[in-house]
Amino acid sequence: MNFGSKLEMAVRQKHSAVCVGLDPRWANLPSAFTDGVDKLDLVTIADRTTKYCCEVIDATVEFSPIVKPQAAFFELLGPPGMQALGSVIAHARKAGMLVLLDGKRGDIGSTAEGYAAAYLGETSPWGCDALTINAFLGNDTLEPFVKRAGDTGTGIFVLVKTSNPGSGFIQDLKADSLTISEQVAEVVQQHCEKRDGKFGDCGAVVGATYPEQLAEMRKRMPNAWLLIPGYGAQGGSADDVAHGFDSDNLGAIVNSSRGIIFAYEKEEFAGMNWQDAVASAAQTMANALPKFHG
């Protein structure tokens, strides 16, 4: 089964389009994990980070089909952090969540092959179901990822319009009547059209913080899964992200990181056990997002 169909099945099964973003910033972890740990002891920090992420996964697995570890926060812990990343990926898959690694990788052909083989597929060393990709180097650099995804039933999400304030610097520039984002989107849609099922292996990242562009991108890429970051802490609302769903209220997953994994810091969850707060935030978000028909 191709990745697009796998993700559709998982979203239907969980009745949820929530993507849980794992950005395990040490300063925000519950004190039970961090108390007494030397800030230079990366081995212990990585161990505690693993434990925390696994418990977040256990708390959210009922309410979310997919988890998105942010590579930067594991790389920040050096080699022990990469061990942690491997353990967290394995735990999530075993628990029944798809794993989308947010690495924003991209390089010229032969190196892109290396990244694709590193991350995509059960037989790869990291064993992810999907990876975020940066296409700045050119559409030729997407080919090795698309091929690997097709061969292994995995997916990629290509950066099309990111959620940050300065994303327009390159992405909104218009050349030959289309913006850069629109030109990347055309390539994404072309890759999706070649696949079986409604949704292809090649998705797109389009931020919730630019809802008009999100609506336009939904139309431009009818067969692509959209990964929508920028919900919650970054300012995107449920109304904003609704523009990213198709007429069946499918085709998009919406990421929240801080809003879910650090929910225990919020007043509304005061006094609650940290894991219950995390579960509750994921459930609340799942209920707030558009629900598919049929």
Active site (catalytic) residues: 104
How big, in percent rounded to 5, are the helix, strand and coil portions of the chain? Answer: 50, 15, 35
Q: Does 138 help bind a second copy (rule: CB under 8 A)?
A: yes
23 belongs to the binding site for a second copy (CB under 8 A): yes
Q: Is 38 in the site for a second copy (CB under 8 A)?
A: no
Residue 167 region by backbone torsions, left for phi larger than 0, else alpha for psi between -120 and 50, else beta:
alpha
Rg of the chain (C-alpha set) = 18
Binding part of the chain for a second copy, among 10-18, 160-168, 195-203, 235-243 by CB under 8 A, reads 160-168
Which residue, 39, 90, 100, 35, is CA-closest to 66?
Answer: 100
Taking the mean position of all CA atoms in its chain, how far away is CA 269? 25
- Residue 136 binds a second copy, judged by CB under 8 A: yes
Residue 230 CA to its chain's centroid (Å)? 11
User: How would you class 36 by CB atoms within 10 Å of its CB: exposed for 0-12, middle for 13-18, buried for 19 or more?
Assistant: exposed
Q: Does 139 bind a second copy (CB under 8 A)?
A: yes
Binding span for a second copy by CB under 8 A among 145-153, 180-188, 196-204, 247-255:
180-188
Residue 70: both structure tokens together: 């942010």
The answer to whether 126 touches 118, Cβ cutoff 8 Å, is yes
The answer to whether 167 contacts a second copy (rule: CB under 8 A) is yes
Interacting residue with a second copy among 12, 173, 239, 268 (CB under 8 A): 173
Among 3, 119, 199, 245, binds a second copy (CB under 8 A): 119
Residue type, 244: G
Q: Considering only residues 47-106, where is the footprint of a second copy by CB under 8 A?
A: 70, 72-73, 75-79, 81-83, 85-86, 104-106
* Identified binder of a second copy from the candidate list 5, 153, 168, 288, rule CB under 8 A: 168
Give the whole-angstrom CA distance, residue 293 versus residue 16: 12
Nearer to a second copy, 112 or 286 (CB): 112
Q: Is 154 near a second copy (CB under 8 A)?
A: no
Residue 84 Cβ, how far from a second copy at the closest point, in Å?
9
Q: Select the residue interacting with a second copy from 39, 151, 169, 273 (CB under 8 A).
A: 169
Residue with tokens 């004190």: 31
The answer to whether 223 and 189 are in contact (CB under 8 A) is yes
At its nearest, how many Å lie between a second copy and the CB of residue 203? 17
205-224 burial: b if 16+ Cβ within 10 Å, else e: bbbbbbbebbebbbebbebb
115 touches a second copy by CB under 8 A: yes
Report the residue number, 41 or 196, with the smaller CB distance to a second copy.
41
Our finding on whether 235 is near a second copy (CB under 8 A) is no
**Element of type H or E holding 260:** helix 258-261
Q: Tell me how many residues contact a second copy (CB under 8 A).
A: 56
Structure tokens at 241: 């992200």
The rounded distance, in Å, linking the Cα atoms of 274 and 270 is 9
Using the rule CB under 8 A, which residue among 152, 162, 223, 280 binds a second copy?
162
- Interface residues toward a second copy, by CB under 8 A: 23, 42, 70, 72-73, 75-79, 81-83, 85-86, 104-109, 111-112, 114-115, 117-119, 125-126, 134-141, 159, 162-171, 173-176, 180, 183-184
